[in-house]
Structure 1
């Protein structure tokens, strides 16, 4: 049986057969993960969530930038991708499936994962 890992930031009902799913440990993902047997939630520490709150406030109120979607929860994304990259580097995986291209780029650039998994990855949404 092939070891396929899905890496996503939000609950997903993918048609692909996956053996392992990595997702952040937030409230929506905990409810979704309770129905799945193969989900490993990555817990985001409180200091990272607090830092995101400060960054989001700074961008919205002080910089007064209208579209802040690129900055929203940026620290949580970086922490999550780093922890997934570490887990992927230390666990043999035959195929990686990423929810987004940004997530694929961030995970593969760490721990020499690019060289190891470049031919064995799929991105679901561009």
Structure 2
């Protein structure tokens, strides 16, 4: 646990950029990725984002609860490292194929209904 809070925040920012495609300041990146993050992970990340400006100030830094912030950073890092990009891509492809198949079934059903209605079947 030799990492400082600033190093942990930098690593979180990098992981958000590579895994969630959300870059910028930590609070902005978290807001961009909010829908894809669990509520608890988002809240822990926002705690870090609120504490980030205080980390640079020597006296205000003493007001931070470092063990709690390190625990929050660890939780966010654990979640971001557990994201499987290949599985996420596969899920996206399957979602597209599922909606395409559903649309095709609806069109075929409507075509059969119209042909029956007109007496062609």
The answer to whether TM tops 0.5 is no
- Quickly name the TM-score band, shorter chain normalised: under 0.3
Please identify which structure carries the higher strand content.
Answer: 1
TM-score by length of 1: 0.26
TM-score (norm 2): 0.27
Larger Rg: 2
